[in-house]
């Protein structure tokens, strides 16, 4: 802490063997300086303080008076003293994603190694600026407190922006590590509900899906199509049905309870070519197939594929009528369908949300009985 009226001491501080990271004015007029000392810098500063105590200049004043006399207190830089974000410093010790800003006086490979040896996860990407490098780091404040102090290059600490990009971009061994950690925290409830994804198929061998499903529960409305998901849309929907937003689950450390399983019925062929069949018929055949395969489990049906136009303008179609009939109930009982309303045209999205007032659902979302 520097006393009032000695702002010029900051320059002396930065040239005295320490590195000035940040200076924060206090309400009482003093300045809290956050500095980093390498081993040599600490010895140099300690020497200057000792000289201030034991030696005088030719004018009779203590040596290094301009520097040492204005230092009210010196504290080791803790995690919070590196905090420069506008947000409040997190009060909990839960694991979070952080932006760690570093001085570029040390190879990043060494920094990564030091962070990982301290139990912190480090994102694969980095940003380089003339005087700073930025890494994404995942861990608790306690882990940071143990590790940041060991680094010779930490300059600032901020909260990472809430984005799943760091997870989506992971590949190879890093992605496998994330998945293994997550799967080790998942528990499966004894009684589960099945979510049957009516889509482009589901790749049941995906490492985040395979442990929680049965291969027998993946079918095609037309067996000649095969069950493999070439377009990948159905697999993405299956993951969403199982876990919701994966970002906080993968990045967290808490246990995850799973109360559902996923089934997949392929109702769309692998090509854009129209199969020249009634979509309502193919959908109902898929529903019947999965109910015959696994009749005992309670289920709901997820349909996130629709026609690409809205020419029905809300009027019943053969597809929506088929779903209404199936949902309302026949000899085999009633069913719960969840249907997407469709996708807006890209041009219309520029006027969002005003364009929603003039757009209508896409077939078969105009059905009355499902949830939309």
More confident residue, 261 or 333: 261
Query: Does 164 score more than 70 pLDDT?
Result: no
**183: DSSP letter:** H
Task: Give percent of the chain above pLDDT 70.
Answer: 77
More confident residue, 349 or 227: 227
Query: Does 365 score more than 50 pLDDT?
Result: yes
pLDDT of residue 74: 47
320: left (phi over 0), alpha (psi -120 to 50) or beta: alpha
pLDDT digits (tens, 9 = 90+) for 81-133: 788 887 788 877 778 888 888 888 888 888 888 888 888 888 877 878 778 88
**350: DSSP letter:** G
| Neighbour-count burial of 65, counting CB atoms closer than 10 A to its CB (0-12 exposed, 13-18 middle, 19+ buried) | middle
**Number of neighbours of residue 294 by Cβ within 10 angstroms:** 16
The overall average pLDDT reported for the chain is 80
Domains of the chain: 9-68 (no CATH), 80-162 (3.30.70.80), 172-357 (no CATH)
pLDDT-derived band at 225, boundaries 50, 70, 90: very high
Rounded CA-CA distance 154/116 in Å is 15
Q: Which pair of tokens denotes residue 287?
A: 């529903």
């Amino acid at each position: 802490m520097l006393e009032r009226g000695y702002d010029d001491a900051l320059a002396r501080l930065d040239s005295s063997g320490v590195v000035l990271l940040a200076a924060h004015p206090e309400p009482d007029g003093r300045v809290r300086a956050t500095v980093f000392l390498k081993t040599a810098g600490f010895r140099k500063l300690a020497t200057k303080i000792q000289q201030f105590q034991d030696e005088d200049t030719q004018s009779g004043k203590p040596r290094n008076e301009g520097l040492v006399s204005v230092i009210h207190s010196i504290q080791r830089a803790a995690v919070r003293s590196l905090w420069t974000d506008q947000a409040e410093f997190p009060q909990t010790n839960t694991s979070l994603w952080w932006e760690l800003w570093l001085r570029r006086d040390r190879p990043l490979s060494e920094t990564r190694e030091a962070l990982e040896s301290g139990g912190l996860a480090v994102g694969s990407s980095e940003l380089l600026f003339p005087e700073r490098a930025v890494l994404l780091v995942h861990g608790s404040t306690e882990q940071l407190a143990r590790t940041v102090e060991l680094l010779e290059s930490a300059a600032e600490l901020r909260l990472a922006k809430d984005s799943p990009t760091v997870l989506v971009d992971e590949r190879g061994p890093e992605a496998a590590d994330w998945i293994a950690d997550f799967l080790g925290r998942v528990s499966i409830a004894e009684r589960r509900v099945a979510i049957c994804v009516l889509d482009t198929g589901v790749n049941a061998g995906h490492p985040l899906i395979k442990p929680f499903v049965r291969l027998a529960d993946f079918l095609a409305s037309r067996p000649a199509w095969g069950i493999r998901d070439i377009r990948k849309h159905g697999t993405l929907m299956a993951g969403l049905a199982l876990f919701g937003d994966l970002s906080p689950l993968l990045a967290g450390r808490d246990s995850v309870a799973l109360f559902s399983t996923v089934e997949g019925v392929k109702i769309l062929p692998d090509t854009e070519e129209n199969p020249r069949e009634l979509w309502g018929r193919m959908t109902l055949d898929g529903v019947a197939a999965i109910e015959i395969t696994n009749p005992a489990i309670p289920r709901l049906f997820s349909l996130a594929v629709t026609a690409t136009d809205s020419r029905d303008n809300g009027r019943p179609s053969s597809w929506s009528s088929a779903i209404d009939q199936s949902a309302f109930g026949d000899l085999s009982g009633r069913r719960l369908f969840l249907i997407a309303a469709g996708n807006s045209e890209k041009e219309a999205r520029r006027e969002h949300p005003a364009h929603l007032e003039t757009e209508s659902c896409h077939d078969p979302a105009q059905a009355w009985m499902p949830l939309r």
